[in-house]
């Protein structure tokens, strides 16, 4: 196993983290592992408790004998992982990783869309929920073809990813007990869109380190 660098990712030691990332990918991908990584992007802080500086490298690999495809690998003061690139830029890649870490740490599980939480007194109505969310930001926009794409149990709360059209545009809507939001990336699986959304929400939370310094 490739030894973990002694210090968090920083411009001064990025070569060490590059070697570590290559070693991690070699262990995970074996013969498909890359020998070259693209220019890194460092995120010096993480909103997740117990995690910190993170670096992301893009790479290409042929995992299924169908030609090389783009990926990115995340290493640093976090649990290392790699992902399909999904045509994401670095900021979104970091948010996808945060959302993935959140799901793993919280033990988030996907459940049947018909599931009902203890707080709900009547069956969940996806269309009613979407109209409620949309009315807050664009009350005049028509809503159509609403369906449940995925539902997740988050410590007893139900986060639902809904698919539909708003003013004729296909979108995902994060509803039910989830922090509300929208995503135009309907080309992504709903599980990926959800992780992106959660990661983005986590990054919007106040930085407690900054608060403590005031």
- Can you give the length of the chain in residues? 214
In the prediction, which pLDDT does 92 show?
Answer: 98
In the prediction, which pLDDT does 208 show?
Answer: 53
Count of domains forming the chain: 2
78 and 131 belong to one structural domain:
no
In the prediction, which pLDDT does 204 show?
Answer: 93
CB 61 within 8 A of CB 34: yes
- Is residue 96 included in any domain, yes or no? no
In the prediction, which pLDDT does 116 show?
Answer: 85
- Is residue 155 included in any domain, yes or no? yes
In the prediction, which pLDDT does 210 show?
Answer: 52
- Is residue 209 included in any domain, yes or no? no
- Is residue 6 included in any domain, yes or no? no
In the prediction, which pLDDT does 120 show?
Answer: 81
CB 137 within 8 A of CB 94: no
CB 96 within 8 A of CB 195: yes
- Is residue 190 included in any domain, yes or no? yes
Q: Assign residue 76 a region: left if phi > 0, alpha if psi is -120 to 50, beta otherwise?
A: left
- Is residue 51 included in any domain, yes or no? yes
Instruction: Mark the ranges of the chain whose per-residue pLDDT is less than 70.
Output: 207-214
- Is residue 147 included in any domain, yes or no? yes
In the prediction, which pLDDT does 213 show?
Answer: 44
- Tell me which residue has tokens 């135009």: 184
Distance CA 131, CA 140 (A): 10
Take residue 146 and report the two structure tokens written for it. Answer: 């609403």
Buried b (16+ CB within 10 A) or exposed e, 87-126: ebebebbbbbbbbbbbbeeeebeeeebeeeeeeeeeebeb
Strand partners, 22: none
113 and 195 belong to one structural domain:
yes
183: containing domain: 109-204
21 and 66 belong to one structural domain:
yes
71 and 150 belong to one structural domain:
no
């Amino acid at each position: 196993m490739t030894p973990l660098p002694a210090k968090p990712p920083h411009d001064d030691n990025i070569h060490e983290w590059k070697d570590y990332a290559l070693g991690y990918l070699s262990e995970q991908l074996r013969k498909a592992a890359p020998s070259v990584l693209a220019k890194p992007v460092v995120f010096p802080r993480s909103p997740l408790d117990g995690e910190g500086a993170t670096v992301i490298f893009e790479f290409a690999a042929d995992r299924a004998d169908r030609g090389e495809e783009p990926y990115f690998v995340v290493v640093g003061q976090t649990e290392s992982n790699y992902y399909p690139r999904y045509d994401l830029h670095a900021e979104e890649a970091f948010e996808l990783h945060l959302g993935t870490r959140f799901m793993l740490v919280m033990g988030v599980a996907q459940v049947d869309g018909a599931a009902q939480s203890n707080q709900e007194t009547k069956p969940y109505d996806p269309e009613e929920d979407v109209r409620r969310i949309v009315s807050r930001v664009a009350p005049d926009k028509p809503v159509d073809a609403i369906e449940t794409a995925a539902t997740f149990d988050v410590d007893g709360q139900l986060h639902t990813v809904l698919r539909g059209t708003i003013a004729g545009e296909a979108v995902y809507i994060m509803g039910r007990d989830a922090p509300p939001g929208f995503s135009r990336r309907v080309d992504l699986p709903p599980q990926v869109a959800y992780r992106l959304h959660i990661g983005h929400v986590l990054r919007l939370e106040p930085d407690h380190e900054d608060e403590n310094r005031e």
